[in-house]
Structure 1
Amino acid sequence: MARDAELVVGLRAGDLSLSRGDEQVLDLAAPLLAQALRVRALVAELHASREETVAAIAEERRRLRRDLHDGLGPRLSGIAFTSDAARNLVHTDPDGADELLRMLRAEMVTAIEDIRGLVYAMRPPALDELGLVGALRQHCVALRTARGAPLKVSVDAAVDLPTLPAAVEDAAYRIVVEALTNVGRHTASPEATVSLRIDGSALRVSVRDGDGARLRIDGAAPRWTAGVGLSSMHDRAVDLGGTLTTGPSSAGGRVEAVLPM
């Protein structure tokens, strides 16, 4: 009748089976009851999802408030005090004022880096400037292997890749970046391949490396231990109602995500 639900019908006293009329009533009522139960389950899922979303937004606001209050706020206050001190010394101690101005510039550069870090934590600017494919290709230029050599990354994306929802774009970018970081950090592979494809109403993301040497001599694939990186990628996919599959293969490691649009 419905998932995890069962309709139990009893017989009237003295009856050995359902009458034809009762069967017809049940044939009409059962689908309606099933729909009602399914709607109730969907409403419960919607409420749970909404609560998780509200909690996530609140946690992100708390993180931003903490970063602004504990990091950027005091730094900007220090810049203001240093500028006041430099102004007071301009006429009486030019050399001291010049030294304070050099310190002020250094603090300003650090503050700008802090602001960029906060912006990146919310959404990588390259996504808005270059799009998903362009942002990934830009990121791949600076990647290195564990031995310090350039990691050769091929980004294979459909020419007609449509405009993606911001949440999907952000999740895909961060999953690929984390996967490529793991390739460079934990494998001996000099290259990796990134694939982006539209599959129905979802974006399919695939990252593969060529480190087949990680397989043991007997041909059995080693187990992957889920760390912070793998857990983060999994959470990003699940938050969108998608899936993430990771593990070794005969040709090397693979990370595959399906992100509903």
Structure 2
Amino acid sequence: AFYGPRARPHEAVRALAVRLQQAPHPGSVPEQICRSVVEDLGLSGARIGVETRAGPRMLAAAGSPVSGPGQVFPLRHHGQVVGRLEVARDGASTPAERDTELLSLLADQASPALAALRLAEDARAARERLVLAREEERRRLRREIHDGLGPQLAAVRLRLGVAQACGLPSAADAHLREAVEVLGEALAEVRRITAGLTPATLVDRGLLDATRILAHRLTTDAVRVTVTDPATPLPALPPAVETAAYRITAEAVTNAVRHAGARGVEVTFTARPGALTVTVTDDGTGFDAGAVPGTGLSSIAERAEEIGGAATIGTAPGGTTVTATLPTTLGDPHE
């Protein structure tokens, strides 16, 4: 009488079956399992995590936060542990001896979906490590070219200039002039390559100052671009996150300046444990919410997603807001 329908296992199983039938895709199964534990069984909290090569990742939670001692139910698929279901109880929860067997059944129901999600999480973690390694390699190449090859070419060009000043025969002087021109083109190409690998201001000045320099360059008499000082100092960021944040900001601000007819554009960075949020707001005309996004807007979402983040674009007649949330705790690219 006290626990009501929660004391009847078949009612909980039936409710779970309905939830799973209504789940739009396998990714929502963990959430439905957690909700069933809390709402149908009456436990205070539940969460489901999956074990990936990059470490455990939490997929879903419901009810009160699960902390401290509680029950843990391994999720096994073909004999291998792929994740875990953790539950917490309070004074109104059903007794552990009443529903432990049922919770084990729920864990078994979740295991196949968790196995598929584990593969997806492994793929995502591998992609994040690849992006991080790529950005680190780009910065290494930039340093090698900028600090090694660039100065060497500049020194050769200088010596050729000195040789020209020595008054050599006209035939030799013509060859020297041509060599100087070719070296000048090579130096310009080196600068172009290093700028394409990683923005120089980003490497030299960091994310905040590089964004302020970008804002100054894009500010005109018609539009003012401002960068708000963050409430708390930005932490040291992985190169991939720093580059993604800068590229997303540059794309969003450029779109606002060129296409939105905005008078003001504001950039804000917000750091919290494990994540960096980039927000770019303008007071322009906006665009049709049903319109197909252009290359610039699509690239914003792609840059966020490739390191495990997400981006949203909200628009209205009074302006557009681009928000990107990027994880700052990426895995080791060398694992």
In the superposition, the TM-score normalised over structure 1's length comes to: 0.65
Residue in 2 aligned with 1:235? 302
For residues 51 and 130 of structure 1, do their structure 2 counterparts lie closer, same or farther at Cα, with a shift above 3 Å needed? closer
For residues 228 and 164 of structure 1, do their structure 2 counterparts lie closer, same or farther at Cα, with a shift above 3 Å needed? farther
For residues 198 and 45 of structure 1, do their structure 2 counterparts lie closer, same or farther at Cα, with a shift above 3 Å needed? same
* Structure 1 gap ranges (5+): 8-22, 62-79, 216-220
Residue in 2 aligned with 1:162? 234
Q: Cα offset for 1:236?
A: 0.5
Separation in 2, partners of 1:56, 1:259: 13
Residue in 2 aligned with 1:70? none
Separation in 1, partners of 2:100, 2:318: 59
Conserved? CA contact 1:161–1:197, under 8 Å:
no
Conserved? CA contact 1:189–1:210, under 8 Å:
yes
Residue in 1 aligned with 2:318? 251
Question: Deviations 1:172-200 (Å, cap 9, x if unpaired)?
Answer: 10001011111222122232110111245
Matched, 1:101 2:176: yes
> SS of the residue aligned with 2:304?
helix
1:4-43 mapped onto 2 (5 Å cutoff): 4=29, 26-27=101-102, 29-33=104-108, 36-37=111-112, 40-43=115-118
Separation in 2, partners of 1:201, 1:131: 19
Question: Deviations 1:204-251 (Å, cap 9, x if unpaired)?
Answer: 111111224x58xxxxx5654411111111100111222111142242
Question: Deviations 1:114-149 (Å, cap 9, x if unpaired)?
Answer: 22332233322322321111000111222156xxx4
Q: Cα offset for 1:91?
A: 8.2
1:1-261 mapped onto 2 (5 Å cutoff): 3-4=28-29, 26-27=101-102, 29-33=104-108, 36-37=111-112, 40-49=115-124, 52=127, 93=169, 95-143=170-218, 149=221, 151-166=223-238, 167-212=240-285, 223-261=290-328
Counting aligned pairs with the same residue, the percent is 27
Conserved? CA contact 2:270–2:277, under 8 Å:
yes
Separation in 2, partners of 1:35, 1:4: 7
Conserved? CA contact 2:224–2:263, under 8 Å:
yes
> SS of the residue aligned with 1:189?
coil
Conserved? CA contact 1:206–1:256, under 8 Å:
yes
For residues 109 and 179 of structure 1, do their structure 2 counterparts lie closer, same or farther at Cα, with a shift above 3 Å needed? farther
Aligned length: 222
Q: Cα offset for 1:171?
A: 0.6
For residues 108 and 51 of structure 1, do their structure 2 counterparts lie closer, same or farther at Cα, with a shift above 3 Å needed? same
- The structure richer in strand per residue is 2
Q: Cα offset for 1:41?
A: 3.4
For residues 143 and 101 of structure 1, do their structure 2 counterparts lie closer, same or farther at Cα, with a shift above 3 Å needed? farther
Conserved? CA contact 2:124–2:308, under 8 Å:
no
Separation in 1, partners of 2:277, 2:256: 19
Q: Give the residue type in structure 1 aligned to 2:115.
A: R
Q: Cα offset for 1:55?
A: 7.5
Q: Give the residue type in structure 2 aligned to 1:130.
A: R
For residues 54 and 128 of structure 1, do their structure 2 counterparts lie closer, same or farther at Cα, with a shift above 3 Å needed? closer
Conserved? CA contact 2:127–2:306, under 8 Å:
no
Conserved? CA contact 1:247–1:253, under 8 Å:
yes
For residues 222 and 42 of structure 1, do their structure 2 counterparts lie closer, same or farther at Cα, with a shift above 3 Å needed? closer
In the superposition, the TM-score normalised over structure 2's length comes to: 0.53
For residues 188 and 239 of structure 1, do their structure 2 counterparts lie closer, same or farther at Cα, with a shift above 3 Å needed? same
* Structure 2 gap ranges (5+): 1-15, 21-27, 34-97, 138-155, 329-335
Separation in 2, partners of 1:34, 1:250: 47
Residue in 2 aligned with 1:76? none
> SS of the residue aligned with 2:208?
helix
